[in-house]
């Protein structure tokens, strides 16, 4: 097991800067997830940790040692990729044990380690099969086994579940979480899927255009995003936003927006004016048009059985999604409705997308309860 530290790490391909001044400390035994949209630099950053590509600038340390110039094979890391390129002509057992063969271990020792790993990953009944005789999930288990057998200091996963269908993805997600619970090895896991990040991570690193937007526990990112990007990226369906203006009236500030939206500006403690507010679909309640904090037109309802989503037009170019436990009457579609919510559920942002802090006790409480 080992800690990982990145100090001022940057990477350019030609003139194209892909990673910009990344500073990050990963603790020994921690499960850290890199998440962000496609092309934001997740794989590049993971490969820099692995030593598969070198940083253009900065220092990479593992277990306190500077490994910036140490080759991948000597870093004590094992990599699991999205496309698990198993050797097609080798049995499962040989695929898992191959790294040990190349290290020159004795056949008995290899067989012992392979069978222990295979048991752990529930592929011990498949050891004689060839990869083509396995399902996608079984192949991915073998790929994980191949990494596991080397007893690495650090596991690196790059979107390992993206090729699997959704049921299998759930199942493998649980297996990987359990693997971490059992082994307590440091793991860094890359995904573009925020729900995978939320369920697996001790801490999440949100990347965007090669920069870290925020590092925090899943709860911190959900309840206290630093900015609009993180607020919109974490949570599904995503947070609803609407531009607002600040107005001073009779000495008190108000935040005003479309649909009759008017909030007290006491929510705001910073001197920066609020430019936009955000509210999550699960924080909205459907009420009569004259009862809500905002009025809108209910345009559409999606029925998923256990939950329902309403699509409400707030303004010409703004639609909010609302999560409902029970389906509203269908004759409400196309009519004016109200949305109600508590002020504590409102996130406020300045013109640069920075979240302005709010002093609501309920928000503070949620953020404080983040120890995992």
Ligand X SMILES: Nc1ncnc2c1ncn2[C@@H]1O[C@H](COP(=O)(O)OP(=O)(O)O)[C@@H](O)[C@H]1O
The footprint of Mg ion (CB under 5 A) covers 43
Q: Between 18 and 120, whose beta carbon lies closer to ligand X?
A: 18
Q: What share of the chain is helix, strand, coil (3-state, %, to 5)?
A: 30, 35, 35
Q: Which is nearer to Mg ion, 34 or 241 (CB)?
A: 34
CB-CB contact of 139 with 115 (8 Å):
no
- Closest to 315 measured CA to CA, from 332, 299, 292, 326: 299
Contact 302, 312 (CB under 8 A): no
* Residue 44 contacts which entry, ligand X, Mg ion, none (Cβ below 5-8 A, type-dependent): ligand X
Closer to ligand X by CB, 45 or 118: give it: 45
Element containing residue 109 per DSSP (H, E): helix 107-120
225 contact, one of ligand X, Mg ion, none, CB 5-8 Å limit per kind = none
Q: How far is the CB of 158 from ligand X (least distance, A)?
A: 7
Q: How far apart are CA 237 and CA 325, in angstroms?
A: 14
Nearer Cβ to Mg ion, position 18 or 279? 18
Residue 73 binding: pick among ligand X, Mg ion, none (C-beta 5-8 Å cut-off by kind): none
Say how far apart CA 267 and CA 343 lie, in whole Å. Answer: 8
Among 64, 54, 58, CA closest to 27: 64
Q: How far is the CB of 250 from Mg ion (least distance, A)?
A: 54
| Residues within the interface to ligand X (CB under 6 A) | 13, 16, 18, 36, 38-44
Could you tell me the smallest distance in angstroms from the CB atom of residue 52 to ligand X? 11
Which listed option, ligand X, Mg ion, none, makes contact with residue 13 (CB within 5 to 8 Å by class)? Answer: ligand X
Q: Which is nearer to ligand X, 43 or 220 (CB)?
A: 43
List the one residue out of 65, 49, 230 whose CA is nearest residue 155.
49
Q: How far is the CB of 54 from ligand X (least distance, A)?
A: 12
Please report how close the Cβ of residue 212 comes to Mg ion at its closest, in angstroms: 16
Angle between helices 166-183 and 136-148 (to 10 degrees): 20
CB of 210 to ligand X, least distance (A): 7
From the list Mg ion, ligand X, none, partner contacted by residue 39 (C-beta under 5 to 8 A by kind):
ligand X
93 versus 215: smaller Cβ distance to ligand X:
215
Helices H, strands E: what count in the chain? 9, 22
CA distance 310 to 313: 10
Q: Please, are residues 154 and 188 in contact by the beta-carbon 8 Å criterion?
A: yes
Binding site partner of 87, from ligand X, Mg ion, none, Cβ cut-off 5-8 A by kind:
none
Q: Which does 306 bind (CB under 5 to 8 A by kind): Mg ion, ligand X, none?
A: none
CB of 44 to ligand X, least distance (A): 3
């Amino acid at each position: 097991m080992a800690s990982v530290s990145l100090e001022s790490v940057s990477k350019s391909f030609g003139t194209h800067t892909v990673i910009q001044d990344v500073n990050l400390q990963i603790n020994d035994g921690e499960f850290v997830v890199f998440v962000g949209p496609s092309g934001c630099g997740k794989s590049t950053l993971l490969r820099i940790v692995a030593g598969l590509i070198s940083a253009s600038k900065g220092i990479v340390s593992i277990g306190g040692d500077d490994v910036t110039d140490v080759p991948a094979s000597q870093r004590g890391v094992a990599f699991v990729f999205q496309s698990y390129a198993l050797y097609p002509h080798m049995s499962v057992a040989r695929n898992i044990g191959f790294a040990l063969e190349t290290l020159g271990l004795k056949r008995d020792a290899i067989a012992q380690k392979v069978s222990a790993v295979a048991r752990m990953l529930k592929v011990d009944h498949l050891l004689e099969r060839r990869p083509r005789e396995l399902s996608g999930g079984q192949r991915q288990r073998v790929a994980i086994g191949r990494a596991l057998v080397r007893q690495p200091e650090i596991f690196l996963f790059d979107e390992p579940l993206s090729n699997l269908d959704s049921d299998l993805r759930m199942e493998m997600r649980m297996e990987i979480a359990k693997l971490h619970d059992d082994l307590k090895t440091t793991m860094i896991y890359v995904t573009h899927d925020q729900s995978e990040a939320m369920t697996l991570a001790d801490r999440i690193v949100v990347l965007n255009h090669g920069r870290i937007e925020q590092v925090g526990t899943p709860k911190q990112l959900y309840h206290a995003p630093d900015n609009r990007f993180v607020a919109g990226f974490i949570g599904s369906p995503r947070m609803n936003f609407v531009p607002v203006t600040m107005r001073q009236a009779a000495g008190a500030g108000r935040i005003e927006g479309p649909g009759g939206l008017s909030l007290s500006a006491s929510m705001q403690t910073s001197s920066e004016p609020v430019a936009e507010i955000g509210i999550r679909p699960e924080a909205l309640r459907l009420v009569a048009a004259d009862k809500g904090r905002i009025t809108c037109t209910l345009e559409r309802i999606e029925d998923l059985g256990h939950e329902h989503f309403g699509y409400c037009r707030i303004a010409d170019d703004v639609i909010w999604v609302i999560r409902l436990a029970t389906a509203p009457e269908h004759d409400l579609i196309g009519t004016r409705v109200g949305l109600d919510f508590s002020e504590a559920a409102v996130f406020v942002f300045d013109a640069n997308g920075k979240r302005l802090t709010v002093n609501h006790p309920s928000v503070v409480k949620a953020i404080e309860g983040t120890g995992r």
